[in-house]
Amino acid sequence: MTDRLHITTAIFYCNAPPHVGSAYEALAADAYARSQRRRLGRARVSFLTGTDEHGDKIRRAAEAEGMPPKEFTDRTSAVFRRAWDGLHVSYDYFVRTTDPQHEQFVQQMLARSHSRGDIYFKDYEGLYCVGCERFYTEKELLPANVCPTHNQPVERISEGNYFLRIDKYRAQVVEHIQRHPDFIRPDRYRNEALNMLAEPLADLCISRPKARLEWGIELPFDSNYVTYVWYDAFWAYVSAPASRDPGFITEVFPSADHFIGKDILKTHAVYWPPMLLSAGLPLFRHLDVHGWVNFGGQRMSKSSGNVADPVSYEAAFGPDVLRYFLLREVVYGLDGDFSEERLIERYNADLANDLGNFTSRVLSMAARYFGGQLTCAPAVEDDAPDAALAAALGQLVERVDAQVETLAFNRGLEAIWQALDVANKYIVQTAPFTLAKDQAKLPRVAQILANLTEALRVVGYALDPFMPVTSRRILDLLAVDQAAAAAPYGQGLKAGHQVNPASALFPRIEKKVR
């Protein structure tokens, strides 16, 4: 198959700071990107995120703060960027739709569709919701012409606008989805998309008159108009990498994975493909659709105030903790639930007790009995326990990456924890601390510890897509270089290798007693 990948998150609308839900998307995409990088090599994977900064809502939000739109989005975009940095989201591109490079690219794409005859002008009168930034038909609205998502009356607006032909490409998009069963993942969303595409589609209004809204990219063929924010934002998936790499569009973009939330399935399954086709571009590889992350059982929303700030959780519990929780607990594609209580449960049970304590006991014994030095290489000496350990750790990374490839992040982590279970059991079965009391049995103790240290090494490496900081910390404690870190089980650590003393990776969180 293809050996280069392009992975994107949605381009986040910049009118409010990120919450745990947007963080989840960035983290899932990041785990996917990191997993693919270790399979294909760093240079073959590009990972893109960014902020969507045009449109009426942003202009209004900026106005409310008494500042120009660009100044407003400079600030909000930086908040996203810092949040992603704080969560160790390893993007290669952070695109802002206000980047000059992006704006030029969008104009090129508009010109292409225009010259192909896919963009036409039409007088239009309709009911417009400012919050949604779109027109509605009366059937879609609640009584008294109230917008169903914003619960606000819509405005009747009459104006000339430019439209992009959508229905022209409908059959082609349907055929593509049918010929590529995993084009939209998971399946449930594929069916919904096909449903949406089953009937004729209205063309997409892609302009706004400057008289009403100036905050946007000017149309290359009519300076009285700017482009609609949604048309603009999609191209952020392409603009920056295409500008940097001339071969991007033909060689890399066809194997793009778009990570999106289920709320924007329609725009990505129905409107984005015709936009691409009309501009003469190929379609992407996967649309990877996730559900909501609820908060304490309730839908997170700014209006109800139950919005969890992702960065504060990393700050409070340590690096990788929110990453672990979301990737372990949420099934990709289904709705999940986030709560501090469950986060602490997971932290203590999985991170402190299983992973942290395992690390601690292995390194402590290595230090206590051999001054931290491995006197032999890992090997299967005693058939039963040694072989069980080798079986649990063998091909672990490959198995994890295979799960991630299908977006089963939770199963990838489960596989690592199953290996940890076996490793903890191995200590009880072999009881090196008992053998160590007998001088004659020290060689066997050394062998057991070499095997355990090797197991820890593989676990540390396997964790990287999900918990990059913890992975690094474990590998640093083991003092292994990059090549040894990535070796198959049994071939990483050598005799004579020196490891560092234990330190607690995840101190237990004691329940607060009031």
CB of 512 to RNA, least distance (A): 15
Q: Which of 273, 304, 277 is nearest to 287 (CA)?
A: 273
Instruction: Closer to RNA by CB, 271 or 313: give it.
Output: 271
CB of 412 to RNA, least distance (A): 14
- Nearest approach in angstroms of CB 60 to RNA is 24
Distance CA 389, CA 384 (A): 9
Burial of 101 (0-12, 13-18, 19+ CB in 10 A): middle
Long-range contacts of 276-281 (CB under 8 A, 24+ apart): 277/169, 277/172, 277/173, 278/112, 278/113, 278/116, 278/118, 278/164, 278/165, 278/168, 278/169, 279/109, 279/112, 279/113, 280/112, 280/116, 281/238, 281/249, 281/253
In the bound state with RNA, the residue whose beta carbon lies nearer, of 278 and 470, is 470
Contact between 204 and 166 under an 8 Å Cβ cutoff? The reply is yes
For RNA, which is the closer residue by CB, 139 or 179? 139
Report the alpha-carbon distance of residue 290 to residue 409 in Å, rounded: 12
Q: How far is the CB of 36 from RNA (least distance, A)?
A: 24
Structure tokens at 192: 């919904």
Long-range contacts of 182-186 (CB under 8 A, 24+ apart): 182/286, 183/283, 183/285, 183/286, 183/287, 184/265, 184/269, 184/286, 184/287, 184/289, 185/286, 185/287, 185/288, 185/289, 185/333, 185/406, 185/407, 186/289, 186/332, 186/333, 186/407
Report the SS3 class of residue 17: coil
CA angle 378, 384, 390 (to 5 degrees): 40
As measured in angstroms, the least distance from the Cβ of 21 to RNA is 14
Nearer to RNA, 106 or 201 (CB): 201
Residue that has been written with the tokens 């033909």 in this structure: 250
At closest approach, how far in Å is the CB of 408 from RNA?
9
Please compute, for residue 18, the number of CA atoms within 13 A of its CA located in the half-sphere on the CB side: 31
Buried b (16+ CB within 10 A) or exposed e, 317-327: bbbbbbbbbbb
Residues whose CB is less than 8 angstroms from the CB of residue 57 and which lie 6 or more positions away in sequence, other chains included: 13, 15, 130, 131, 133
Q: Of 283 and 293, which CB lies nearer to RNA in the complex structure? A: 293
Q: What residues contact residue 472 under an 8 Å CB cut-off, 6+ apart?
A: none
In the bound state with RNA, the residue whose beta carbon lies nearer, of 310 and 336, is: 336
Q: How far is the CB of 340 from RNA (least distance, A)?
A: 14
* Joined tokens for residue 17: 């700071």
Compare residues 126 and 220 and give the one whose CB is closer to RNA. 126
Cα distance between residue 245 and residue 43, in whole Å? 12
For RNA, give the closer residue by CB, 356 or 468. Answer: 356
Q: How far is the CB of 120 from RNA (least distance, A)?
A: 22
Reference 25, options 82, 84, 78, 85; nearest CA is: 84
Q: Which residues bind RNA (CB under 7 A)?
A: 139-140, 188, 191-192, 195-196, 199, 262-263, 266, 329, 331, 334, 336-337, 345, 348-349, 352-357, 359-361, 364-365, 368, 421, 424-425, 427-428, 431, 433-434, 502, 504-508
Min CB(14)–RNA separation in Å: 23
Residue closer to RNA by CB (options 116, 188) is 188
Nearer to RNA, 270 or 493 (CB): 270
We find the least distance from the C-beta atom of residue 235 to RNA, in angstroms, to be 23
- Nearer to RNA by C-beta: 199 or 383? 199
Residue pointed to by tokens 């700030």 = 309
Nearer to RNA, 107 or 364 (CB): 364
Which residue's CB is nearer to RNA, number 242 or number 505? 505
- The SS3 of residue 120 is strand
> What is the number of residues in the chain?
514
Minimum distance of RNA from residue 132's CB (angstroms): 12
> DSSP per residue over 331-355, as a string?
PTTS-EEE-HHHHHHHIIIIIIIII
The least CB distance from residue 336 to RNA, in Å, is 7
E strands of 58-197, at which residues? 93-96, 119-129, 134-136, 155-164, 184-185
Tell me how far, at minimum, the Cβ of 317 lies from RNA, in Å.
13
Q: Please state, as a whole number, how many other Cβ atoms lie within 10 Å of the Cβ of residue 11.
A: 22
